[in-house]
Amino acid sequence: MTSNSPEFGAHLAALKALAAQVAAPNAADVDAKSRFPRETIDALQKAKLLSAPVPKEFGGPGYGMRELAALCSTLAQACGSSGMVLAMHYIQVACIARHAQSSEFFRGYLRELVEHQYVLASMTSENGTFGETRTSICAVERKDGRFKLDKDATTGSYCQHADGILVTCRRASDAPSSDQVLVLVRKGEYQLTQTTSWDTLGMRGTCSPGFKLESTGAEEQIIPGSFADSSAQTMVPYSHILWASLWWGIAADAVARAAEFVRGGARKNPGVVPPTANRLAEVSTQLQAMRHNWLALAAEFDSFLLAPTGLQDLLSIGWALKMNNLKINASDSAPQIVHKALQITGILGYKNDSKFSLGRHYRDTLSASLMISNDRIASKSASMLLVFKDN
């Protein structure tokens, strides 16, 4: 892809190399054992790729959405769980980089993150609110420059492997459930008690059981402003665009395996187009449409940031609908594409020990429609369409 940053080529090349040499060879083991892709994250840290969203003034490369999506989609072609961990980490870093720059503490934290390549996780889900990220039950309690925050989270990806977690909560114990803030809790200042297991169909390497969090910290670790804004302007667009890009990456690897299968058949009988090639042609149209959807919205997002009204435009219903449509479309398409690839590879794709295996791809992409439930998102779109005129 084209990038305005001269160093992006080198970063993408480093990511491609570690995807091929580290993530891909470990993907089956990560999946089988439901274990954190430690070696891949170590390699990302070594290549300084965990600070990709950090602005230049704090020592990062300041990559925009298109560059981050290129990185996540590339890694996901090798290992879906690793791609998801990278995307979720970038979403958290972006929330800090875009909403906490007015705070001296967070400016320092961003520099530290670049130096130490911290891994950041997220706790938005909560027992009692479930997939509704924009309400919280738990509240941050402030006293004498310190805070105390406890949360009963239903799902906390790689929380046990992170250096910090961004936690949504109510602004104060008397605040309404929708008046939320984001709080950074730091390793050494929190305790996690695992409450559920993570033996799932797919995305097994994200290691996402439920946790009870008990934490304290300095009041300055509360991100200034309101989560209503950082959610609409950052968490939602970064999530939906980066997730779509990595789900596409998983689907693209499935189609690549199917294409290799078709080419193998064609070589045995030159002059005859194998019937599986027609199925390949069909699935490649869906794969291309899926790719261009997130590419276009990543470019639109990046162009907003250049416009003076950009941050306001991200708060519009029109943009929210686009994000919802992207999420629903990408999460529906990804398993459909893998399913079609499986019809091409046949039994060799169905086997877990062949080079055409598609089981992991299929199971990983089945999480997409559940990760913030499509029904929940669609019902929000339905209500927004009652006032949106598309004019």
Partner 1 sequence: MTAIDPMTQKIRRILKDHGRLSKDADSLGAESDLYEAGMTSHASVNVMLALEGEFNIEFPDHMLKRSVFDSIASIGAAVGELQGG
Ligand X SMILES: Cc1cc2nc3c(=O)[nH]c(=O)nc-3n(C[C@H](O)[C@H](O)[C@H](O)COP(=O)(O)OP(=O)(O)OC[C@H]3O[C@@H](n4cnc5c(N)ncnc54)[C@H](O)[C@@H]3O)c2cc1C
Tell whether residue 373 is a contact of partner 1 (CB under 8 A): no
Of the candidates 97, 165, 324, 107, the one whose C-alpha atom is nearest the C-alpha of residue 232 is 324
Place of tokens 């020990």: 353
Partner whose binding site includes residue 153, from ligand X, partner 1, none (CB under 5 to 8 Å by kind): ligand X
DSSP H helices, 208-235, are 227-230
Residue 249's SS3 state is helix
Contact 298, 61 (CB under 8 A): no
Binding range to partner 1, per CB under 8 A, among 113-121, 174-182, 293-301, 327-335: 174-182
Partner whose binding site includes residue 110, from ligand X, partner 1, none (CB under 5 to 8 Å by kind): none
Q: What DSSP line would sit under 134-189, residue for residue?
A: T--S-B-EEETTEEEEEEEES--TTGGG-SEEEEEEESSTTS-TT-EEEEEEETTS
Tell whether residue 343 is a contact of partner 1 (CB under 8 A): no
Binding range to ligand X, per CB under 6 A, among 154-162, 174-182, 276-284, 319-327: 154-162
> How does strand 164-170 pair with strand 141-143?
unpaired
Binding range to ligand X, per CB under 6 A, among 273-281, 286-294, 309-317, 363-371: 363-371
Tell whether residue 195 is a contact of partner 1 (CB under 8 A): no
Binding pattern for the stretch 197-216 against ligand X, x by CB under 6 A and - elsewhere: ------x--x-x--------
Partner whose binding site includes residue 127, from ligand X, partner 1, none (CB under 5 to 8 Å by kind): none
Tell which one of 12, 24, 317, 366 touches partner 1 (CB under 8 A): 317
First-last CA distance in the chain: 32
Dihedral (C-alpha) 209, 214, 219, 220: value to the nearest 10 degrees? -30
Tell which one of 175, 370, 381, 384 touches ligand X (CB under 6 A): 370
Binding range to partner 1, per CB under 8 A, among 249-257, 275-283, 362-370, 381-389: 381-389
Tell which one of 191, 312, 343, 352 touches partner 1 (CB under 8 A): 312
Partner whose binding site includes residue 221, from partner 1, ligand X, none (CB under 5 to 8 Å by kind): none
Tell which one of 153, 255, 326, 334 touches ligand X (CB under 6 A): 153
Burial of residue 197 (CB within 10 Å: 0-12, 13-18, 19+) is: exposed
Place of tokens 């003076």: 308
> How does strand 190-194 pair with strand 211-218?
antiparallel
Paired strand residues for 356: none
Tell whether residue 379 is a contact of ligand X (CB under 6 A): yes
Binding range to partner 1, per CB under 8 A, among 102-110, 150-158, 170-178, 191-199: 170-178
- The Cα 106–Cα 113 span in angstroms is 10
Question: Residue 269 or residue 391: which is nearer to partner 1 going by CB?
Answer: 391
What tokens does 93 get? 């870093």
Tell whether residue 375 is a contact of ligand X (CB under 6 A): yes
- The Cα 139–Cα 215 span in angstroms is 12
Q: How far is the CB of 134 from partner 1 (least distance, A)?
A: 7
Tell which one of 73, 92, 124, 180 touches ligand X (CB under 6 A): 124
Tell whether residue 370 is a contact of partner 1 (CB under 8 A): no
Tell whether residue 334 is a contact of ligand X (CB under 6 A): no
Of the candidates 377, 360, 376, 367, the one whose C-alpha atom is nearest the C-alpha of residue 30 is 360
Paired strand residues for 148: 141, 216
Tell whether residue 315 is a contact of partner 1 (CB under 8 A): yes
Q: How far is the CB of 297 from ligand X (least distance, A)?
A: 20
Tell whether residue 308 is a contact of partner 1 (CB under 8 A): no
Residue 57 CA, distance from chain mean position = 25
Dihedral (C-alpha) 246, 248, 252, 253: value to the nearest 10 degrees? 30
Which residues are CB-contacts of 232 (< 8 A; sequence separation ≥ 6)?
314, 315, 320
Binding site for partner 1 (CB under 8 A): 134-135, 175-179, 226, 228-229, 232, 312-313, 315-318, 320, 380, 383-384, 386-391
Binding site for ligand X (CB under 6 A): 88, 121-125, 130-131, 153-157, 203, 206, 208, 367, 370-373, 375-376, 379
